[in-house]
Structure 1
């Protein structure tokens, strides 16, 4: 298996400092599921007494992207990844500790296999759902990832 939760958190400190400083942390990762948390506070607030939408987006994107990174590392090929599209829905003010979970790890390998076999870029959508401490959904993000062989 690729990077651990702790290794991803060190990665965010050096490569995604905005995520790290706003409190975004990987809590667990497996081949199928990644969980990322962020706690509402002064560094990530908006003027409406909730978490800024972009901080939620960073946490949600990391929960999907960490799965992609690990699958690419395990694959051993030189493959690039990039978010091509995304959309989000906000259903409740995000306060307290918000947990973003992506369960779509199974979608990645087929796209990687096809891009390696054909040399053509592949896209796939992954979803991350953010819930508060009561288990209420506060936001849902969808990311369209594209992967391709590096030249």
Structure 2
């Protein structure tokens, strides 16, 4: 896991500094699921002492995209990865460290297979659930839907 965290840190510093600024940490990854933790700090909290909506968007972005990045890297392939839309339901104030979980590895596998087969850009929604395990266990604080957009890059 430390190696994946190092890769996330290097990627974020080089490509998306906001991810690094929020001090994100990869806590779990396999073929089906990824979990990213964002600490509730001065950098991520709002005036209500809960996680700022922008920080929630950063966490969802990482959880929604990192699984696709992980899978393509394992297969030594490249994709153009972007998000086309975002819809969030904010259910409860996240007043502690937040864990973002995306367990849609099968959806991402199908997208990758289709884009490498057709060469076309593939867009599908992925769901990210934000929880505060230290305060509320698995109760969702937010449910965020991102439209993940993948296109194979020819070598």
TM-score, structure 2 as length reference: 0.86
Name the CA distance, whole Å, in 1 between partners of 2:27 and 2:10: 12
Q: Partner of 2:28 in structure 1? A: 28
The answer to whether the 8 A contact 1:79-1:147 is kept is yes
Deviations 1:99-124 (A, max 9, x none): 11111111112111112222221112
The aligned residue for residue 131 of structure 1 is 131
**In structure 2, C-alpha distance between the alignment counterparts of 1:149 and 1:104, rounded to whole Å:** 19
- 1:114 is the counterpart of 2:117: no
SS of the counterpart of 2:43?
Answer: helix
1:112 counterpart SS class = helix
Unpaired runs of at least 5, structure 2: none
Secondary structure class of the residue paired with 1:67: helix
Does the aligned pair in 2 maintain the 1:79–1:149 contact within 8 Å? Answer: yes
Cα distance in structure 2, aligned partners of 1:23 and 1:137: 21
Provide the rounded CA distance (Å) in 2 between the counterparts of 1:81 and 1:126.
13
Q: Deviations over 1:44-100 (max 9, x none)?
A: 121222111110111111012110111222343442111011111111111111111
Secondary structure, in 3 states, of the residue corresponding to 1:44?
coil
Aligned length: 149
Partner of 2:97: 97
Q: Give how far 1:140 is off.
A: 1.2
